Amino acid sequence: MSSYSPARVRADVPMLHRQVHGHPLTYLDSASSTLPPRAVIEAMDRYYECHHSNVHRGVYLTAEEATADYEGARAAVARFINAPGGAEEVVFTKNTTESFNLLARSWGASQTQPGDAVVVTEMEHHANVVPWFQLRDSHGIEVRFIPVGDDFRLDLSHVERVLAGAKLLSVTGMSNVLGTRNDLAALARLAHDHGALFAVDGAQSVAHGSTDVARDGIDFLAFSGHKMLGPTGVGVLWARRSLLEAMPPFLGGGGMIADVRTDGFTPAAGVARFEAGTPPIAEAVGLHAAIRYLEGLGPDAVEAHERELTRDALERLESTFADRVRVIGPHDVIDRGGVLSLDVEGVHPHDVAQVLDQHGVCVRPGHHCAKPLMRRFGLAATARASFGPYSLTRDTDALIEGLGHALALFA
């Protein structure tokens, strides 16, 4: 049983103890980046204070310790997402964006032919769109989009046609704008039925519910450390071992080779061939601590708490502001996470966010790196509030008070 208490998580996060403009910090931007608990910060401090050395090289004690720390983090990631092939399927990258670039340039460039199709959706972050367009421009593939319906969910009515002849379906676990969660197991079956592989952008979903690549039939999974209570600078690309083994190296340099001669090189075997140069060791250690922390909370308990916060916020936004504040996303909490994209009548999102800042409330204005989706709904930008495992209803109180101020100021 989980002993999850959001108030205790709040106590564990140092940044949530600071004041902003005379108000307690109301952090509602976890979809951009989550705030790390003390356990993560201390794990990285401990690493730098006691164990830091380069990995996979020295034979002295601290080099062995650093290597054990780094490889231990890889094993923790494998357990966290239930990777059937274990740590040998986990590649450390810089972030989700780099993971998708690795996927497109290594798997994509080696396993697709001109005319092959990669299918994404209209609700993807640019990280799961632009690398495929780049592959289109360099290798002549076709990029197709599954549209988003007026209900803010994937419109699968023509999916058979869209998936015909596709090599890959790549979909977000949860929209960073709408909060919509996609049914990964069902989409995986659809992809596999059409002979396509199935990739998931887990950036928004890994910290807010359980992730299980074996259960859901996922072939590739990308995510970032800093969106799951960990540090910036570390991300993951997980791939099924058979797929990873067929993929050529991505970046070249130290650490990724078996041999280098004056006439060429031989890449290393295993995940090492995707990790050129000194990797983000301290960040991997921080990610390991974040995983332990999240596992201690219990992914299902976190998901249930954020669902309740979202239900409460949707109701109170509606009862307080009616049509003056429109939520761009599902209005129920079924298959929906804690992301609330707001369109405030007569107030530009930039101005909304600026007024909220004066109340100590952090929200994100902009297009959220999802321009195809914004265009779909005729918006240039929204003001986005998003919950994390430390969020409480009093965060929603502060949001509503600030929104009232913004509406009054620009009325």
Is residue 358 a contact residue for other proteins (CB under 8 A)? yes
Is residue 350 a contact residue for other proteins (CB under 8 A)? yes
Q: How far is the CB of 286 from other proteins (least distance, A)?
A: 28
Alpha carbon distance 123, 128 (integer Å): 10
Stretch that binds other proteins, among 157-165, 189-197, 202-210, 353-361 (CB under 8 A): 353-361
Structure tokens at 202: 């887990």
Alpha carbon distance 389, 396 (integer Å): 14
Q: Which of residues 134-163 bind other proteins (CB under 8 A)?
A: none
In the set 230, 337, 365, 389, which binds other proteins (CB under 8 A)? Answer: 365
Is residue 349 a contact residue for other proteins (CB under 8 A)? yes
In the set 348, 376, 392, 404, which binds other proteins (CB under 8 A)? Answer: 348
Residue 382 in contact with residue 370, Cβ under 8 Å? no
Per-position b or e across 200-225, b if 16+ CB within 10 A of its CB: bbbbbbbbbbbbebeebbbbbbbbbb
* Residue whose CB is less far from other proteins, 232 or 358: 358
Give the count of residues interacting with other proteins (CB under 8 A): 16
CA nearest neighbour of 201 among 228, 180, 227, 174: 174
Structure tokens at 392: 């409480």
Residue 367 in contact with residue 374, Cβ under 8 Å? yes
| Residue 187 CA: distances (Å) to CA of 1, 85, 229, 405 | 30, 22, 28, 43
Is residue 351 a contact residue for other proteins (CB under 8 A)? yes
Is residue 409 a contact residue for other proteins (CB under 8 A)? yes
Q: How far is the CB of 23 from other proteins (least distance, A)?
A: 12
Q: Assess whether 362 carries a catalytic annotation.
A: no
Q: How far is the CB of 352 from other proteins (least distance, A)?
A: 9
Stretch that binds other proteins, among 296-304, 336-344, 350-358, 390-398 (CB under 8 A): 350-358
* Residue whose CB is less far from other proteins, 292 or 405: 405
Is residue 15 a contact residue for other proteins (CB under 8 A)? no
Structure tokens at 291: 């995983």
- Stated as kind and residue range, the H or E segment containing 167 is strand 166-172
Is residue 367 a contact residue for other proteins (CB under 8 A)? yes
Stretch that binds other proteins, among 24-32, 92-100, 289-297, 342-350 (CB under 8 A): 342-350
Q: How far is the CB of 344 from other proteins (least distance, A)?
A: 12
Alpha carbon distance 401, 399 (integer Å): 6
Is residue 65 a contact residue for other proteins (CB under 8 A)? no
In the set 15, 186, 260, 380, which binds other proteins (CB under 8 A)? Answer: 380
CA nearest neighbour of 119 among 193, 191, 218, 180: 191
Q: Which of residues 19-58 bind other proteins (CB under 8 A)?
A: 21
* Residue whose CB is less far from other proteins, 330 or 349: 349
Residue 63 in contact with residue 76, Cβ under 8 Å? no
Is residue 8 a contact residue for other proteins (CB under 8 A)? no
Q: How far is the CB of 178 from other proteins (least distance, A)?
A: 18
The interaxial angle of helices 281-297 and 299-321, nearest 10 deg, is 80
Q: Dump strand ranges (E) for 288-338.
A: 325-327
Structure tokens at 133: 């367009």
Q: Which of 191, 369, 385, 406 is catalytic?
A: 369
Region of residue 136 (left: phi > 0; alpha: psi -120 to 50; beta: else)? alpha
* Residue whose CB is less far from other proteins, 230 or 402: 402
* Residue whose CB is less far from other proteins, 316 or 348: 348
Active site residues: 369
Q: Which stretches of the chain bind other proteins, using CB under 8 A?
A: 21, 348-351, 354-355, 358, 365-367, 374, 380-381, 409-410
